[in-house]
Amino acid sequence: MSPVLADVLQVSALIAALALVHRPLGDYMARVYSSTRHLRVERWIYRCVGADPDAEMRWPAYLRSVLAFSAVSVLFLYLLQRVQDKLPLSLGFKPIDPDQAFNTAASFVSNTNWQSYSGESAMSHVTQTAGLAVQNFVSAAVGMAVAIALVRGFTRARTGELGNFWADMVRGTVRILLPVSALAAVVLVATGAIQNFAGFHEVHTLSGATQDIPGGAVASQEAIKDLGTNGGGFFNANSSHPFENPNGFSNLLEIFLLLVIPFSLPRTFGTMVGSAKQGYAIVAAMGAIWFAGVVAVTVTEFQHPGTAAQLAGGAMEGKEQRFGEGASSLFSVSTTMTSTGSVNSFHDSFSGLSGGVLLLGMMLGEIAPGGVGSGLYGMLVMAVVAVFVSGLMVGRTPEYLGKKIGPREIKLAACYILITPALVLGGTGLAMALPDGKEAMTNIGAHGFSEVLYAYTSGSNNNGSAFAGFGADTPFFNTTIGLCMLLGRFLPMVFVLALASSLAKQTPVPVTAGTLRTEKPLFTGMLVGAILIITGLTFFPALALGPLAEGLA
């Protein structure tokens, strides 16, 4: 079988698997967030927290809970890294430096998982499992909670109440993320991923050298890292490390885990608003952009432009033999477009044009399909904008799902959209203007600029993947990228929750002959168009300086 045919089959199998679970998982998640019953373990958690899970929250209260929980998480994770040498299972590693500990704490709490450290040579077992892996669960659950609060804004009327943050976050963790991760972790161990609490195991090789085989609770962390679209690898090599991703099957399973919740949440949305078709319109827009990205990167990597790749006869630099070009391209697009940022191959060594597509995938704002939760709310904000633009074209008051899109709604959506470009372009500009930025590039010229642009894009959009040649562990980058990650995560949530409240307070308007039908393919096309135009206009100049200049050189 030719590599191209195998790759076509592989992509088809992935799409089939995602389609198969779309309805059951989406409906299950809708039930989880709508149910009035509490599981026994959940009641126990609420008692420990001292929260009443049935108390409705208005948007300021919901937001305060999100921020309080995240602030405490940043602090806890920071302290854990600073004292890791005094805790058990430290493997002899030193405490993490303050700037890097802040960067890592901000990174994992904001669901970014940008890593300026190298896992196997810095983080103790306790930091990894009780610190980083815990944030993999809860930061994902926070994203889903905010998305569900926005959906409630569409389903509720004449109320400012958006649900209870503690209930939403705990249910997301206990009923969705934990069971799926546990299952996936066991399957990953069966393929060869390691799961132990041992240190390095020294072996003597046949050629008389020694080699330190690492240990760690890898499979359990790998499963949630992908499922929660986090992306922070146990090892520096992330999902290209054979202990994280041993073969072709584990690779496809990991890609499936990245995509499964973001692609199923539109069904949850459709079910909750009472029209499955509204969900299909959203998932179609996500799927179209994702698929276009997969095709673009796969074709480019198989053609392997670039002088070094041409000389080598293929684009295998930074790729594993067991994955090859096809499975690496599929993983790279899926990870950048879901805000995951784990990698099974190193994006820095992809051809210039592929690197540009991966960058663009992040610049779209992580909505195709985006991170768990953040993908859905980002896409719904874009849908609000698309409805507004369509309304202007035909001269009618725009409305979406019976809610009027007035000045307040559109202002909130516009603020949401402006945050990440401001952070990306501001951060990149600052880094290029100061000597710190230029010193960190491993590559020269356009590719070096792409590295810096990629870093701020990845941080501000909460992706976390890197053109990793970039020497990110400096106080300047740790601090500025850390701030970009926190602002890029939590400022948009402010506007999403305010928007949710403003929608929930409205009285729904009845559907008439003049209502824009947002469940039709025409609207999906409008939505994709709006996304591309907004992103294109914002980022084209920056892309032209980096990947486009490199690709056309």
Partner 1 sequence: MNTSVRNTGRLLSAAFRALLVLTVVCGVIYPLVITGIAQGAFHDKANGSVVKADGRDVGSRLIGQSWNERGGRKPDPKYFQGRPSASDYDPRNSGSSQLGASDPKLVGMVRKARKQVADFNGVPQSRVPKDAVTGSASALDPAISKKYAALQVDRVARANRLSTGTVRRLVSEHTAGRTLGFLGEPTVNVLELNLAVRRAAARG
Q: Give the residue with the Cβ less far from partner 1, 178 or 273.
A: 178
Binding segment toward partner 1, per CB under 8 A, in 44-52, 153-161, 366-374, 477-485: 44-52
Q: Give the residue with the Cβ less far from partner 1, 405 or 468.
A: 468
Binding segment toward partner 1, per CB under 8 A, in 20-28, 162-170, 516-524, 534-542: 162-170
Cβ proximity of 109 and 490 under 8 Å: no
| Min dist. Cβ of residue 20 to partner 1 (A) | 17
| Min dist. Cβ of residue 13 to partner 1 (A) | 7
Helix 178-191 × helix 218-227 angle, to 10°: 130
Residues 252 to 311 in contact with partner 1, rule: CB under 8 A = 252, 304-309, 311
* CA gap 521, 527 in Å, rounded: 10
Q: Give the residue with the Cβ less far from partner 1, 349 or 506.
A: 349
* CA gap 550, 553 in Å, rounded: 5
| Min dist. Cβ of residue 365 to partner 1 (A) | 26
* CA gap 494, 496 in Å, rounded: 6
- DSSP-assigned states of every residue in 266-325: HHHHHHHHT-HHHHHHHHHHHHHHHHHHHHHHHHHHHH--SHHHHHHTSS-TTB-TTTHH
Count residues binding partner 1 (CB under 8 A). Answer: 124
| Min dist. Cβ of residue 113 to partner 1 (A) | 15
Q: Give the residue with the Cβ less far from partner 1, 12 or 397.
A: 12
| Min dist. Cβ of residue 80 to partner 1 (A) | 10
Report the relative pairing of strands 403-404 and 399-400 from DSSP bridges: antiparallel
R_g over Cα of the chain: 23
| Min dist. Cβ of residue 358 to partner 1 (A) | 13
Residues 6 or more apart whose Cβ sits within 8 Å of residue 527: 281, 282, 285, 379, 382, 383, 386
Q: Which CA distances in Å does 53 have to 36, 130, 158, 521, 530?
A: 10, 25, 22, 39, 38
Among residues 143, 232, 352, 437, the one that binds partner 1 under rule CB under 8 A:
352
- Reading the block at residue 423, the tokens are 């952070």
- Is residue 160 at the binding interface for partner 1, with CB under 8 A as the rule? no
Cβ proximity of 127 and 216 under 8 Å: no
In the chain, count of helices (H) and strands (E)? 21, 4
Residues 451 to 480 in contact with partner 1, rule: CB under 8 A = 467-470
Please state whether the peptide bond connecting residue 369 to the residue before it is cis, i.e. omega within 30 degrees of 0. yes
* CA gap 527, 367 in Å, rounded: 12
Q: Give the residue with the Cβ less far from partner 1, 305 or 406.
A: 305
Q: Give the residue with the Cβ less far from partner 1, 26 or 324.
A: 324
Residues 301 to 330 in contact with partner 1, rule: CB under 8 A = 304-309, 311-324, 326-328
Q: Give the residue with the Cβ less far from partner 1, 76 or 291.
A: 76
| Min dist. Cβ of residue 24 to partner 1 (A) | 23
Q: Give the residue with the Cβ less far from partner 1, 270 or 551.
A: 551
Residues 80 to 119 in contact with partner 1, rule: CB under 8 A = 118
| Min dist. Cβ of residue 345 to partner 1 (A) | 5
| Min dist. Cβ of residue 53 to partner 1 (A) | 12
Residues 191 to 230 in contact with partner 1, rule: CB under 8 A = 191-198, 200-201, 203-209, 211-215, 217, 219-221, 224
Q: Give the residue with the Cβ less far from partner 1, 348 or 366.
A: 348
Residues 384 to 403 in contact with partner 1, rule: CB under 8 A = none
x-marked contacts with partner 1 along 517-546 as a string, rule CB under 8 A: ------------------------------
Binding segment toward partner 1, per CB under 8 A, in 177-185, 429-437, 479-487, 499-507: 177-185
* CA gap 22, 271 in Å, rounded: 12
| Min dist. Cβ of residue 502 to partner 1 (A) | 24
| Min dist. Cβ of residue 151 to partner 1 (A) | 23
Residues 411 to 450 in contact with partner 1, rule: CB under 8 A = 442-443, 447
* CA gap 333, 406 in Å, rounded: 35
| 141-173 CB burial, b ≥16 within 10 A, e <16 | bbbbbbbbbbbbbbbbeeebbbbbbbbbbbbbb
CA dihedral 542, 347, 147, 515 (to 10 degrees): 60
| Min dist. Cβ of residue 105 to partner 1 (A) | 12
Name which of 81, 108, 110, 113 is nearest 468 in CA terms.
113
